[in-house]
């Protein structure tokens, strides 16, 4: 028996030293959404491409459902280098920098094509250029998408219908202000705590895109879904600067190209789920309500003035000009 275990230990040691000798990297990627959400499939596609193009030198394991922490903790873990990659909504990044806040303005984008065009342009790159001193490297923008209000109390058609509702928001001051101005009571909360809070009715409402409402089974604890589309949530694909610096230039180029291809794939899946999952929500008993988006925008519009100095009036003018240029 002793001979066998000595043999196994020796083999293990040889494999380990060989992998270190050849600079093999086993990277960890974390996110908070369900295993059947496009976040997971997009990261798995990224991992396949990177492993294939580095001949197995770099592997990436994607951990879903907040296994490696909530979004704020994941960003902190990248800064520490204890997690290598994360994909998060821009909203929680407001706890680290104001550079992404502009994307959290209500009804900034009105359609997906415009959002993607601007995020993939030099304007979208600006925010990535600003985070190197935070220990973060941004490669591309995956997509979370247009967010809708769900609640357990009433079919909310007009903005005034959310007056008095306790609504969970992401940890983001613009999101909170946008619902406060409607008379709702915003409660910032990590995504991992949300289902239980809805189930225990400590909150009445939340807001998320259709793919999340379905894949996180919010239809089990929310009766009404109002298709407000009030925020478009981009999803920066972030790598720890400590990890990035360990890569060769060739590996950085492979990772960047793989992230672009995985982004396009993830966005395709988001489009599919946005198209297919409204019917599934209805089949699960949710009442899905169409609303007058302009009325919701008018009601939330005061937050533009409130945050103009924080975001920069010129920045807002610049992105609105880019949006209108594409019309």
Summarize as ranges the residues that interact with ligand EAX (CB under 6 A): 32-33, 71, 88-89, 144, 170, 191, 208, 212, 233
Cβ 160 to ligand EAX, closest distance in Å?
24
**Min CB(158)–ligand EAX separation in Å:** 23
Helices 112-119 and 122-129: angle between axes, nearest 10 degrees: 60
CB of 12 to ligand EAX, least distance (A): 38
Q: Which is nearer to ligand EAX, 54 or 235 (CB)?
A: 235
Q: CA 90, CA 138: separation in Å to the nearest integer? A: 12
Tokens, residue 29? 């990627």
Q: Is the torsion defined by CA of 259, 262, 266, 272 positive or negative?
A: positive
CB-based contact 38:270 (threshold 8 Å) = yes
- Compute the least distance from the CB of residue 79 to ligand EAX, in Å: 18
Q: Which lies closer to ligand EAX via its Cβ, residue 128 or residue 232?
A: 232
- In the bound complex, what is the minimum distance in angstroms from residue 265's beta carbon to ligand EAX? 18
Give phi and psi for 210, each to the nearest 5: -55, -45
* CB neighbour list of residue 147: distance below 8 Å, 6 or more residues apart: 207, 208, 209, 228, 229, 230, 231, 232, 233
Task: Pick the closer one to ligand EAX by CB: 28 or 251.
Answer: 28
Residue 63 CA: distances (Å) to CA of 47, 67, 212, 324: 12, 6, 17, 39
Least Å from the CB of residue 208 to ligand EAX:
5
SS3 assignment, position 244: helix
Chain centroid to Cα 295, Å, comes to: 26
- CB nearer to ligand EAX: pick between 88 and 210: 88
- 56: number of Cβ within 10 Å: 12
Minimum distance, C-beta of residue 189 to ligand EAX, in the bound complex (Å): 8
Distance from CA of residue 126 to its chain's centroid?
18
Whole-Å CA distances, 42 to 68, 137, 149, 326: 17, 18, 25, 27
* Cα–Cα nearest to 256, from 76, 248, 32, 124: 248
User: Between 159 and 209, whose beta carbon lies closer to ligand EAX?
Assistant: 209
Cβ 245 to ligand EAX shortest distance, Å: 26
Looking at the Cβ atoms of 32 and 258, the one nearer to ligand EAX is 32
The 8-class DSSP code of residue 105 comes to S
Cβ proximity to ligand EAX: between 30 and 251 the closer is 30
- Looking at the Cβ atoms of 88 and 269, the one nearer to ligand EAX is 88
Distance CA 51, CA 43 (A): 12
Does an H or E element contain 279, and which? helix 249-283
């Amino acid at each position: 028996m002793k001979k066998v275990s000595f043999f196994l230990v020796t083999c293990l040691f040889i494999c380990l030293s060989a992998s270190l000798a050849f600079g093999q990297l086993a990277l960890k990627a974390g996110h908070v959404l369900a295993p059947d959400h496009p976040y997971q499939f997009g990261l798995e596609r990224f991992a396949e491409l990177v492993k294939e193009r580095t001949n197995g030198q770099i592997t990436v394991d994607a951990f879903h459902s907040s296994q490696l922490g909530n979004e704020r903790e994941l960003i902190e873990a990248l800064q520490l280098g204890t997690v290598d990659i994360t994909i998060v909504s821009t909203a929680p990044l407001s706890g680290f920098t104001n550079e992404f806040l502009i994307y959290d303005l209500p009804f900034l984008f009105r359609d997906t094509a415009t959002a993607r065009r601007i995020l993939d342009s030099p304007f979208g790159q600006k925010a990535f250029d600003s985070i190197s001193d935070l220990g973060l490297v941004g490669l591309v923008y995956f997509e979370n998408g247009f967010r809708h209000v769900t609640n357990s109390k009433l079919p909310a058609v007009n903005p005034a219908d959310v007056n008095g509702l306790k609504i969970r928001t992401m940890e983001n001051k613009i999101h909170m202000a946008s619902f406060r101005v409607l008379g709702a009571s915003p409660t910032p909360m990590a995504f991992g705590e949300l289902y239980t809070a809805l189930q225990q009715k400590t909150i009445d409402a939340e807001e998320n895109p259709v793919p999340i409402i379905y894949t996180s089974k919010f239809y089990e604890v929310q009766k009404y879904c109002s298709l407000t589309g009030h925020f478009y949530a981009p999803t920066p694909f972030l790598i720890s600067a400590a990890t990035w610096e360990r890569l060769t230039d060739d590996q950085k180029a492979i990772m960047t190209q793989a992230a672009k291809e995985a982004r396009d794939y993830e966005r395709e899946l988001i489009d599919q789920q946005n198209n297919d999952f409204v019917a599934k929500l209805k089949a699960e008993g949710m009442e899905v309500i169409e609303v007058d988006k302009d009325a919701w925008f008018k009601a939330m519009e005061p937050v533009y003035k409130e945050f103009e100095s924080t975001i920069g009036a010129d920045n807002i003018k610049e992105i609105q000009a880019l949006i209108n240029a594409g019309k």
